[in-house]
Structure 1
Amino acid sequence: MGRPERPVDPSAGPIARFAHELRQLRSAAGSPAYRTMAKAVGCGATTLSQAAAGERLPALPVVEAYVRACGGDPATWRPRWQEARREAEQEDGPAQGEPRETAPVPYRGLARFEPEDRHLFFGRDRVLDELGKLVCEHRFAVLFGPSGSGKTSLLRAGLVPRLREEFARRPAPAALRILTPGASPATTYGHLLSPAPGEPESWILVDQFEEVFTLCDDLRERSQFIEMLLAAREPGGRVRVLVAVRADFYARCAEHPALAQALNESGLLLCPMTAEELREAVVGPAQAAGYLVERALTARLVEEVQAEPGGLPMLSHVLQETWRRRRGRMLTFDGYEAAGGLHGAIAATAEEVYGTLSPEQARAARHLLLRMVVPGQGAPDTRRPVSPGELSPCPDTQVVAERLTRARLLTADENGLQLAHEALISCWPRLHGWIETDRERLRDHRALSEAARVWLKNGRCSGALYRGAQLARGAELFPDPATDSALNASERDFLTASQEVREAERRNAARISRRQSDTHRVPVRRAGDRAADGRRHVARARRERAPTGPGSGPSGGIRRRRAGHHRSARRAGARRRVLADRPAARDPPGTARFSQPAPVGHLHRPDTR
């Protein structure tokens, strides 16, 4: 039997009251041991016991696991947790002990390290020496490694400060620039890759080169940008280039022969950190800021990260959350488990923020987060920046963006707002579930976003609008663009304009069809007129043959008939000449030509006189 828990006074505050309520739930379930509860829900026993200790408010996922282990309904406990959190913040502020806003945070969480974070960047000296040698020996070089291996932080907090120190020792100046490709890399950065005469030599660091394949859909723009980068290899050039790309896009890079050759000649694979390097990454930042890390915690982290490829973002985030749960100046193993551990800390933080949102804000959060994801095709999903123009002006969206950014789940930079790291996609089950549910819709939505961007870039040209199957698919996914909250203003205008042009084209086609129908009926009326003329001619001829008045005997009748026959022949001949002189082009194409009825004569009986 485990040792008894320390009593908690429910009147001591909202956190103590919430812990007392959790204990009452466990007591009603028969007071199961924490080890038994941990096995039932897959959570650490220490984490569950700390949830009911009354020292700090546990994370929402930990509360839900505790309630499930006791046979309760987690949905009924979410409002109680939110109420306790609000009351605790009103009484004590957002954190206990040292104020969160003023305390120097030694870890970056999911956010990347920047050049000014150099004093907190540890464990990368070996690979930095190799990378520095590579970029000095080759005018074009490539750094590739798996997602979560720390490429971006290595460039910004490791290589950039070293290169700046190197440039300071040189007599000739040099310009150092770091960029991410985006949707139009050649158009945006072409001037940087072609320095004018008299300008200093340019060193270009291209971070997240995979955006050339995930965000740039224009094949010509993509090829032009790659060729501009590869031009740095030419002798006598005044540009040096280092490209950092995810390892799972190696095959896509090989599609370009010259780029594939560069990978073989001047490529560096970013290998996993050794155990000693990981210890430096865990302990170094804490010591630089005046904190300590328990040895048991360091050993546990090194062991878990070595078994988790691409686990550096998870390591950085769980260390940040453990620091927030520290005891004085010490980062403890208990604080680590209370944060959710290596695999649960990201989800715990995300769910903690999500649990504070209203239903309307939760819907806005789903739309916002899915807009920041590019669903992979034969490759893992990737993130994409959302420019300020893409963001909805809805107040709920603004509140969600602010809260997620404050929790360091989103980052804001020159490209806009984006996920702090792609690890959020794989480590937060809720977001991962949204992506899987809407995967096909997301692909079509990303294509719509790009089409709307091109349409605006071309001055709202009608030739860039959706037609045919594309418009039909857009109408299927977004039947009412004017009210669909998943669309931003430019996408809404694009779909509306596409539908308006389609309706205008339909009305125009209907007018043309009616006009052609009327044109085809005119020749029919002309043919009918000619037939009526023929009938009248026959009737007149018959009247002329009929004997009437004096001298209507046989010889007179014969003379009259012969005279009528000659007159009819003359009229018919004149009519044929008129018709022969009429231009054939007056009849519309496909109109049947009706010949003039032949003149009606009569059979001459032999004169028996």
Structure 2
Amino acid sequence: MKNNPYVGPRPYEREDRRNFYGRQREARDLTSLILAERVVLFYAPSGAGKTSLLNAQVIPALEENDFNVLPTTRVGSELPPEIDPDDVENVFVFSALMGLGGGEAPAEALLGHTLLSFLRQHCLEEDAPDYKPPIVIFDQFEEILTTHRERWQDARGFFEQMRDALRGMPTLGVVLAMREDHVAGLDPYAPLLPRRLRARFRMERLDRKGALEAVKRPAQEAGCPFDPGVAERLVDDLCRIKVAVRGQQTSVLGPFVEPVQLQVVCHRLWENLPEQEDNAIQWEEVEEFGNID
């Protein structure tokens, strides 16, 4: 079938927004928190879909609220080959600036910039007619703890520069998105940030209700819905986890679904449906084309 409404193994992008389902409450609550706080720590288990939620729901919602959301950036990128590491004052800041610049400026032009100086250069003054408060989103922020370990001392300097940027730009907002198993590693730096980084939002793994919506709604909107009960059976299979009972391996229904597995299965199913398909998706087609294993 053409016009596949499922994204497969990649994260959702902004253009996939109309097919993003199952996380409306999280999107609403996280957006509200970002609107209310200067710095928000957004964390979740690995694979829960943080990047997709930001791309497909939160960033568009912030822009609809007249915020200037800068390009999402990361702090753990490798330095370009033309850059001498000895010329980089802070490797985490430099990585962030490369992302914020969107690849438009030569890497050499970023040397010597701080977060504050870069943002002031690339954001309008507050008294400008078209001014919109800027928001910087750092994705995969656990990289400040896991990458560039030979420059680990730069981590504190990064947070000091973030503090200076927040002080120098009173309307600046910051979102730190990271895996929850690394959250405790930020504790030494929390005193440098507003409210000691207490504004936090935890996203749980995708539950059965959200998974069912993520399976059913894209197909329904694309004009090829699931036959009654078929999506429910598919989600039950996606929820299954293996356990040992009296020494024997068996499977039981778990509370969560892996979003990537859901998208991969549904994407493959849709790709293999007959092009002339104009009826509801049957369980036999799920068994044939949407193999969960």
Whether 1:317 and 2:241 are equivalent positions in the alignment is no
Superposition pairs of residues 268-279 of structure 1, within 5 angstroms: 268-279=201-212
- In the alignment, what sits opposite 2:155? 222
**Stretch of structure 1 that moved more, 300-309 or 112-121:** 300-309
Q: CA deviation at 1:279?
A: 2.0
Write the letter of the residue equivalent to 1:341: N
> Matched residues in 2 for 1:289 and 1:295: separation?
16
- Larger relative contact order (C-alpha < 8 A, sep ≥ 6)? 2
Cα distance in 2 for residues equivalent to 1:117 and 1:127: 17
| Counterpart in the other structure of 1:113 | 12
Which whole-Å CA distance do the structure 2 matches of 1:337 and 1:261 have between them? 52
- Paired residue for 2:184? 251
Code of the residue aligned with 1:293 in structure 2: it is: F
SS in 1 for 2:51: helix
User: 2:70 aligns to what?
Assistant: 176
> Aligned residue for 1:540?
none
Please name the residue that 1:157 is paired with. Answer: 56
Aligned mates of 2:49, 2:20 — CA distance in 1 = 11
Whichever residue aligns with residue 37 of structure 2, its letter is H
In the other structure, the counterpart of 2:282 is 332
CA contact (8 A) 2:207 2:256 kept: no
After TM superposition, give the deviation of residue 202 of structure 1 in Å: 2.0
Matched-pair contact (CA < 8 Å) for 1:141–1:263: no
Q: Which amino acid aligns with 1:319?
A: C
> Which residue of the partner structure matches residue 244 of structure 2?
none
Give the match's secondary structure for 1:107: coil
- What is the aligned partner in structure 1 of residue 135 from structure 2? 203
Kept after mapping to 1: 8 A contact 2:269/2:290: no
| Per-residue deviation, residues 552-608 of structure 1 (Å, max 9, x unmatched) | xxxxxxxxxxxxxxxxxxxxxxxxxxxxxxxxxxxxxxxxxxxxxxxxxxxxxxxxx
2:218 to 274, 285, 303: 285
Percent identical residues: 27
Moved runs in structure 1, 4+ residues, more than 6 A?
A: none
Q: 1:193 aligns with which of 112, 115, 132?
A: 115
Q: Which has the higher strand share?
A: 2
Equivalent position to 2:28, from 112, 129, 135: 129
Query: C-alpha offsets along residues 283-336 of structure 1, whole Å, 9 cap, x if unaligned?
Result: 111122222123333112333445264611101110111112325144333333
Counterpart-to-counterpart distance in 2, 1:300 and 1:269: 29
* 8 Å contact kept, 1:193–1:239: no
The one-letter amino acid paired with 2:70 is L
Q: CA deviation at 1:237?
A: 2.1
The 1-side partners of 2:16 and 2:24 are apart by 15
- Is the counterpart of residue 241 in structure 1 residue 140 in structure 2? no
| Conserved? CA contact 1:323–1:331, under 8 Å | no
Secondary structure at the residue paired with 1:148? coil
- Counterpart CA distance in 2 for 1:331 and 1:223 is 54
Q: How many residues align?
A: 237
- Counterpart of 2:284, as a letter, is D
CA distance 1:333–1:222, shift in 2 (3 Å): farther
Q: 1:437-448 to 2 correspondence within 5 Å?
A: none
- Higher radius of gyration, 1 or 2: 1
Residue pairs, 1:513-528, within 5 angstroms: none
Unaligned runs of 5+ in 2: 78-90, 98-112, 126-130, 240-253
Instruction: Please give the alpha-carbon distance, in whole angstroms, between the structure 1 residues aligned to 2:11 and 2:222.
Output: 18
Residue 257 of structure 1 and its aligned partner are, at CA, apart by: 4.0
Matches of 2:193 and 2:179, distance apart in 1:
14
* 8 Å contact from structure 1 (residues 177, 202) kept in 2: no
Q: CA deviation at 1:274?
A: 4.2
Secondary structure of the 2:137 match is strand
How far off its partner does 1:188 sit? Answer: 3.3
Distance in 2 between the 1:160 and 1:264 partners?
Answer: 21
Structure 1's unaligned 5+ residue stretches are 1-97, 168-172, 345-609
**Corresponding residue of 1:300:** 233
Deviation at 1:187, TM superposition (A): 1.4
CA distance in 2, matches of 1:165, 1:187: 29
Counterpart Cα distance in 1 of 2:192 and 2:257:
25
164 and 264 in structure 1: CA distance in 2 versus 1, 3 angstrom threshold: closer
* Higher share in helix: 1
- Asked if the contact 1:107–1:316 (Cα under 8 Å) also holds between the matched residues in 2, the reply is yes
1:282: Cα distance to partner? 0.8
1:142 Cα offset (Å):
0.8
1:210–1:249 Cα contact (<8 Å) kept: yes
- 2: CA distance between counterparts of 1:175 and 1:332? 42
Query: Structure 1 residues 265 and 304, CA, compared in 2 at 3 Å: closer, same or farther?
Result: farther
Q: C-alpha separation between the residues in 1 aligned to 2:288 and 2:181?
A: 34
**Separation in 1 of the partners of 2:144 and 2:234?**
35
Q: Which residue of 2 aligns with 1:474?
A: none
Is the contact made by 1:140 and 1:232 (CA closer than 8 Å) also made in structure 2? no
Q: Identify which of 129, 142, 145 aligns with 2:41.
A: 142
- Paired amino acid for 1:228: Q
